[in-house]
Amino acid sequence: MRRFEPSDTVKRLPEQFFAKLVKKAHDLTDAGHDVINLGQGNPDLPTPTHIVDELKYAADNPEYHKYSPFRGQLFLKEAISDFYKKEYNVSLDPAREVAILAGSKTGLVDLSQCLLNPGDIALLPDPGYPDYMSGIAIAQASTSFMPLRAEHDFLPDYASLSSDILDRAKLMFLNYPNNPTAGMATPSFFNETVEVAKRHHICVCHDFAYAAIGFDGEKPQSFLQSEGAKEIGIEMYTLSKTFNMAGWRAAFAVGNASVIETINLMQDHKYMSLFGAVQQAAMHALVSPQDAVRQLVTTYEKRRDLFIDALRRAGWHVPAPKGTFFAWLPVPAGYSSEEFADLLLEKAHVVVAPGIGFGDHGEGFVRAGLVASEERLREAAARIEKLNLF
């Protein structure tokens, strides 16, 4: 069979670091071992029944069997605006400041192509979500990393960044509650971000994927709650985590009207919006009482407490995450993050993600997901304890 050479664009795409880890886990499972997978970011609980029922009802509507409007249904944009007003006291113009996305990953990858030219600089958190780099590579832009350190609460220290880099940067990605560190942003940090972005003419994209998941009574802050944020940035929100709708691919971007228009224009050429019934179900999720969301947060917080307490009893001195459904765990002395992840996989049959896969400053940590039942988390901690590593 003739082999066709991939384009230079495809060749520029970063390697999927975790593919190797996934293969190792599958190999152990295929060999008959009971593997507990805490290395993924896929919600394990089902979508609330009332949302599923709305989809079933909406799917019968013959209007939705036609092509959706290119830029999505106005009723969903209005629901998003109402949701932001209710949840964050942020006012949005549904027509100009909301874009419907087929999953926030789509928006995060497309955004770099919307705003960056070859050679432009984007600022990325390190460690951070690896797919930010995919869109930057496609745009032939460059990256400059902002270290996230425990001593700075896993927030970028803008004062430590080169003023030359800040002047040249056109785009900045942030993500709080943070994947992978589980750090939380403060209002003062977002206020500082707005000031830095205005001073250096940087567009900020806040990836608000874990918007609903804050612990100990702390509600995560929307970036758009900071005064002036809409002037210099946008926020991307996915229904995947808040409503356990990962497979539905329903998300949106909100904020700066010029950026929203550019995202919409890009999507006009690449996509045909979401199935109308999915948009109606997404609207229903946003406008309905949020009891299921509050219960979800309670579930994750119980899992967090159980898992962290069990690891501490095993002698592993680990911090409790403040948000997200991840725990960012320091690796014992003598191991790299990849070596330690391999050890847990091979000896305890527990999958965690090595921190180095999220960036150089992820070295020294592994990420464990709270996306398993309390019973499985308890079992994972017991298996780790039996290794007598601490």
d(CA 330, CA 221): 26
Q: Is 230 helix (H, G, I), strand (E, B) or coil?
A: helix
pLDDT recorded at residue 288: 97
In angstroms, what CA-CA distances link 64 with 38, 102, 234, 252, 277?
A: 38, 16, 29, 19, 6
Strands (E), the chain: 36-37, 98-101, 121-126, 142-147, 169-174, 203-207, 233-238, 251-255, 326-330, 350-351, 353-354, 365-369
Query: Rg of the Cα trace of the chain?
Result: 21
Average pLDDT of the segment spanning 154-182: 97
Other Cβ atoms less than 10 A from the Cβ of 31: the count is 8
pLDDT one-digit tens code per residue, 9-20: 999 988 777 777
Burial of 196 (0-12, 13-18, 19+ CB in 10 A): buried
Does residue 323 register a pLDDT over 80?
yes
Phi, then psi, of 365 in degrees rounded to 5: -135, 160
> Taking a C-beta distance cutoff of 8 angstroms, is the pair 282, 242 a contact?
no
pLDDT one-digit tens code per residue, 54-108: 999 999 999 999 999 999 999 999 999 999 999 999 999 999 999 999 999 999 9
d(CA 275, CA 234): 24
pLDDT recorded at residue 149: 97
d(CA 342, CA 336): 10
Average pLDDT of the segment spanning 335-355: 96
* Structure token digits, residue 360: 């150089």
pLDDT one-digit tens code per residue, 349-388: 999 999 999 999 999 999 999 999 999 999 999 999 999 9
| Nearest CA-CA partner of 223 in 201, 194, 243 | 194
pLDDT one-digit tens code per residue, 97-152: 999 999 999 999 999 999 999 999 999 999 999 999 999 999 999 999 999 999 99
pLDDT recorded at residue 20: 75
Kind of pairing, strands 251-255 and 233-238? antiparallel
What are the percentages of helix, strand and coil residues in the chain, rounded to 5? 50, 15, 40
Distance of CA 242 to the CA centre of its chain: 11
d(CA 8, CA 12): 6
The interaxial angle of helices 276-287 and 74-88, nearest 10 deg, is 20
Average pLDDT of the segment spanning 274-291: 97
pLDDT recorded at residue 141: 97
d(CA 38, CA 303): 12
Does residue 21 register a pLDDT over 80?
no
Dihedral-angle region of residue 352 (phi above 0 means left; psi in -120 to 50 means alpha; beta otherwise):
beta
pLDDT band at 22 (very low <50, low <70, confident <90, very high): confident
Could you tell me the residue ranges of all domains in the chain? 8-47+292-386, 61-287
Does residue 164 register a pLDDT over 90?
yes
pLDDT recorded at residue 343: 96
d(CA 319, CA 330): 9
Average pLDDT of the segment spanning 276-305: 98
* Structure token digits, residue 80: 């998003």
Average pLDDT of the segment spanning 261-285: 95
| The CATH number, out of the four listed (3.30.559.10, 3.90.1150.10, 3.60.20.10, 3.50.50.60), of the domain defined by the range 8-47+292-386 | 3.90.1150.10
The yes or no reply on domain 61-287 and CATH 3.40.640.10 is yes
pLDDT one-digit tens code per residue, 165-178: 999 999 999 999 99
pLDDT one-digit tens code per residue, 216-272: 999 999 999 999 999 999 999 999 999 999 999 999 999 999 999 999 999 999 988
307 contact partners, CB below 8 Å, separation of at least 6? 327, 368, 370, 377, 378, 380, 381
pLDDT recorded at residue 272: 86
d(CA 314, CA 328): 17
In angstroms, what CA-CA distances link 136 with 9, 94, 125, 165?
A: 11, 28, 14, 16
Place of tokens 């403040």: 322
236 has which bridge partners? 207, 253
pLDDT band at 41 (very low <50, low <70, confident <90, very high): confident
Does residue 307 register a pLDDT over 80?
yes
pLDDT recorded at residue 25: 83
Examine domains 8-47+292-386 and 61-287 and report if their fold is the same: no
pLDDT recorded at residue 19: 75
Half-sphere exposure (Cβ direction) of 54: Cα atoms closer than 13 Å: 18
pLDDT band at 40 (very low <50, low <70, confident <90, very high): confident
Counts of helices then strands in the chain (DSSP H, E): 15, 12
